[in-house]
Chain A
Amino acid sequence: MDALHSLMQGFSTVITPFNMGMAVLGCFFGTLVGILPGLGPSATIAMLLPLTFGMNATSAMIMLCAIYYGAMYGGSTTSILVNVPGESASVVTTFDGYQMARQGRGGVALGISAIGSFIAGILGTFALIFVCVPLSAFTLKFGPAEYFSLIVMGMLCIVFVGGKSISKSLMSGVIGMALGTVGIDVVQGAPRFVYDISQLMDGVSFIVVVMGLFGIGEVLVSAEERMKIKTINVKLKELWPTLGDIWQVKWSVLRGTAIGFFIGALPGAGATIASFLAYGIEKGVSKHPERFGKGAIEGVAGPESANNAASSGAFVPLLALGIPGSGATAVMLGALMLYGLKPGPMLFHTNPDFVWAVIASMFIGNIILIFMNLPMIPFFAMGLRIPYRYLYPAILLICIIGAYSLSSNVYDVWVMLIFGVFGYFMKKYDIPGGPMVVALVLGPMLEYNLYRALALSRGDMTTFFTRPISGTLLAIAAIMIVVVTFKAVRMKRALIEEKEE
Chain B
Amino acid sequence: MGKKFLVCSFAAVFCFITMLFTVDAKAAYPEKTIEFVVHSPAGGGSDLFSRAVASILEKEGIVKQKIQVVNRDGGSGTTALNYMHDKAGDAHVVMQFTTGPLSALLRGSSKLKLEDLTFISMMCMDPNLAFTRVESPYNDMKSLIEYAKKNPDKISVAIGTVGGSEHISAHRVGRASGAQLNLVGFGGGGAASVAILGGHVDVGFGNVNEQMGQIEAKKIKPLGVMSPQRISAMPNVLTMQEQGINAVYVQPRGFWAPKNFPDYALQFWEDAFAKLVKTKAFQDVLKTSYAVENFMKHTEAKAFVTDYLKVLKVDVDELGVYKKK
Contacts and interface: CB of A to CB of B under 8 A. Distances in A.
A144 B44 CA distance: 24
A365 interface: no
B41 to A, nearest CB: 7
Contacts of A345: 213-214, 217, 219
A141 B198 contact: yes
Nearest to A343: B213
Contacts of A317: 194
Contacts of B284: 340
A408 interface: yes
B322 A191 contact: yes
- Chain B: interface size category: 35 or more
Contact of A334 (B44, B212, B213): B44
A202 interface: yes
Nearest to B47: A46
B322 A46 contact: no
A455 B75 contact: no
A337 B48 contact: yes
Interface stretch (B140-148, B180-188, B270-278): B180-188
Contacts of B55: 50, 53
Nearest to A266: B194
Interface in B185-212: 185-187, 190-191, 193-195, 197-201, 209, 212
Nearest to B167: A189
Interface in A175-191: 184-191
A198 interface: yes
Contact of B197 (A140, A188, A338): A140
Contacts of A405: 1, 4-5
A322 B209 CA distance: 12
A460 B43 CA distance: 38
Given A198-B110, A455-B182, A46 B43 contact: yes
A458 interface: yes
B162 A198 contact: no
Interface stretch (B17-25, B76-84, B255-263, B303-311): B76-84
B153 interface: yes
B214 A36 contact: no
Contact of B43 (A45, A185, A202): A45
Most buried by B among A32, A42, A192, A321: A321
Q: With a 10 A CB-CB cut-off, give which of B75, B78, B216, B284 has the most chain A CB atoms.
A: B75
Contacts of B193: 323
Interface in A372-418: 401-402, 404-405, 407-409
A330 interface: yes
The listed residue with most B CB atoms (<10 A of its CB), out of A42, A47, A198, A321, is A198
B3 A44 contact: yes
B73 interface: yes
A268 B194 contact: yes
Interface in B16-67: 41-45, 47-48, 51-52, 54-55
Given A334-B43, A345-B219, 20 more contacts: A32-B2, A44-B3, A46-B42, A47-B7, A144-B200, A189-B319, A190-B321, A321-B194, A321-B214, A334-B44, A335-B43, A337-B48, A344-B216, A344-B219, A345-B214, A401-B1, A407-B72, A407-B74, A448-B185, A456-B184
22 contacts: A36-B2, A49-B51, A140-B199, A189-B319, A189-B321, A190-B321, A190-B325, A198-B78, A198-B109, A201-B74, A201-B78, A330-B44, A338-B52, A342-B213, A344-B217, A346-B213, A405-B4, A407-B71, A407-B79, A452-B195, A455-B156, A455-B182
Interface of A: 29, 32-33, 36, 38-39, 42-50, 53, 140-144, 184-192, 198-199, 201-202, 267-268, 317, 321-325, 327, 330-331, 334-335, 337-338, 340, 342-347, 401-402, 404-405, 407-409, 448, 452, 455-456, 458
Interface of B: 1-5, 7, 41-45, 47-48, 51-52, 54-55, 69, 71-76, 78-79, 82, 109-110, 153, 156, 161-163, 182, 184-187, 190-191, 193-195, 197-201, 209, 212-214, 216-217, 219, 284-285, 288-289, 319-325
